[in-house]
Amino acid sequence: MEPEIIMISRRTFLSGIALTGLSVGVLHRPFIARAAEPLVLWGPPAAPSIILAQAVASGLLRELGPDVSFRTWKSPDELRAGISSGSYHATVVPTYVAANFYNRGLGVRLLNVLTNGLLYVVAPAGTVSDMASLKGRKVAVPLRNDMPDFIFRRLLASANVAASEIQIEYTGSPSEAMQFLMAGRVDAAFLTEPASTAAILRASMMGKTLERAISAQAVWKSVTGSSIIPQAGLAVSNKLSADLGEKGLEALQASLETALAQVLKDPAAAAAAAASTLELPAPVIERSIPYSNLVAARASSEKKELFTLFEALAQEDPRIIGGKVPDDGFFAL
């Protein structure tokens, strides 16, 4: 299925309840290099894309090239294919994916971090208190052998809970994991934002009470000593970096910093701009923003936290990050 093209710079969309699935001022700088072709920003149907949607909708990226647009990738396989083929030059990725591609010499570097963690165990109120309390329960976990799964298994290990002591129901997306929870097929679900917010709101409409019983970010601190999980960020190709140059990359980063400030200042407007992208009603997106830990931090400013994450993931299998922690060339800024 072809990815949906969302030209939100000219209009705002509303959507149904279909569910899926990390500087100030407008720039007017004549010295900024422009992209050699129309600039396409790619992102998942998840909270970090709110920042990209806002940047396009606000016209913050016009100086970087004509016809700047936003498109969504729908699955990790689609993401990896886009990067491998060279058709994705600027895309939100799990940060370990950027490290993996960089270490494999595929011409990808990390520009920034867009979320410091948005994973939660969602369960009926009062039924789950910590990772150990998941023993003997069924838990829906989206995207086997991808970021949610990797983090979930590390959190289990930190609580001395073997994967065999719970029943993990893997799903193809956060949406499907949420649906398993809503249908009572599992006792809990490990969800990203805005899926966790959607689950809680939808349950309340059905007379049920769900809660974010465990914050992965809080448990992560006990695992690694770091209170944040630099989960996703914008990766840029070497071609785009060459086209834009350092000043162009700085301008791209500045525009995303401005977009983040707009999102945090007016979550309702930002949610309306991103509603079609995330395939969720704007009120759900708006309520998810406080739990999404959105940032627009230069990748190098979170070097310590990124390397902590990579080292933790590599304990299970170094191939997850391409065999080693990347060198400083990994940081586009």
| Residue 131, SS3 per DSSP | helix
* Ordered per-residue pLDDT tens for the chain, 333 residues: 333 333 333 333 333 333 333 333 333 444 455 555 789 999 999 999 999 999 999 999 988 877 889 989 989 999 999 999 999 999 999 999 999 999 999 999 999 999 999 999 999 999 999 999 999 999 999 999 999 999 999 999 999 999 899 999 999 999 999 999 999 999 999 999 999 999 999 999 999 999 999 999 999 998 899 989 999 999 999 999 999 999 999 999 999 999 999 999 999 999 999 998 877 899 999 999 999 999 999 999 999 999 999 999 999 899 999 999 999 999 999
Read off the pTM.
0.88
Q: DSSP letters along 277-324, please?
A: HHTS-HHHHHHHGGGS-EEEEEGGGGHHHHHHHHHHHHTT-GGGGTTS
Domains and CATH numbers, the chain: 5-116+229-324 (3.40.190.10), 119-224 (3.40.190.10)
Decide if 213 contacts 154 (C-beta within 8 A).
no
DSSP state, residue 39:
-
Token pair of 234 as six digits: 């914008």
Q: Are 297 and 113 in contact (CB under 8 A)?
A: yes
